[in-house]
Structure 1
Amino acid sequence: MQTIQNIQKCINENIAVMVYFSAPTCNVCHALKPKLLEAIDANFKEFKIQSVDISLNEEIAPHFGVFSIPTVLVFLDSKEFLRKSRHMSVDEVIREIKRPYEIMTS
């Protein structure tokens, strides 16, 4: 089970982390997630991905200031770099991460 501490530890110990917030009742979440995870995996080898089902642990989302789903938080070098909620495209997320990620990992 995910906890705030587990997620924070992952963010602090890895160069690039994506936290994906969703819920079982969210159709958009389920459509977007596999496409997004596949694109992250294909483009960014160093990324760690944390998936948070907000229905299982209701404290995590507000801790990170997340109040709508799906929401994607991207942390680079332990700092929040990108926050996308609801209406996002996979290409848009990849495009926004690509340059800073390449600079950090080159």
Structure 2
Amino acid sequence: MRIQSLTEIEKLRKQEVSFCIYFSSPNCGVCQVLKPKIMSLMKDYYPEIQTYKVDVAVYPEIAAQMGFYTNPSFIVYLNGQEYLRRSRSISLQELYESLARPYKLMF
């Protein structure tokens, strides 16, 4: 699902138990290569965490208000609280390892 405003993120924090947001731009080669890998990782290993996307080319103000000034960026909320934040160099292995324990405890 695509996010189009900061208000949507605030609603998600109140309504969703856990979710993540991937910030990318269509003209960013790294973003386009990494996006399907991250989406696959989340779907295969962490299906209870809803995944959302922000197109930074269209909504740069959302990324700026969230404190992201480079692409790609990724943020995970668990129980409505920010748990993990990564930008630029995102390691799939690190993501997997960082989420494994809290995910097992929550779900």
User: What TM-score, normalized to structure 1?
Assistant: 0.92
CA contact (8 A) 1:73 1:83 kept: yes
Deviation at 1:99, TM superposition (A): 0.5
Amino acid at match of 1:76: L
User: Runs of at least 4 residues of structure 1 off by over 2 A?
Assistant: none
Spell out, residue by residue over 1:59-80, the C-alpha distance to the aligned partner (whole angstroms, 9 max, x if none): 1011111111100001101111
> Which stretches in structure 1 are left out of the alignment for 5+ residues?
none
Deviation at 1:12, TM superposition (A): 2.2
CA contact (8 A) 1:7 1:50 kept: no
Identity of aligned residues (%): 33
What's 2:67 paired with?
65
Are residue 22 (structure 1) and residue 34 (structure 2) matched?
no
Deviation at 1:16, TM superposition (A): 1.5
Q: Show the 5 A alignment for 1:13-92.
A: 13-92=15-94
Kindly tell me the number of residue pairs found equivalent between the two proteins.
105
What's 2:102 paired with?
100
C-alpha separation in 2, matches of 1:93 and 1:103: 16
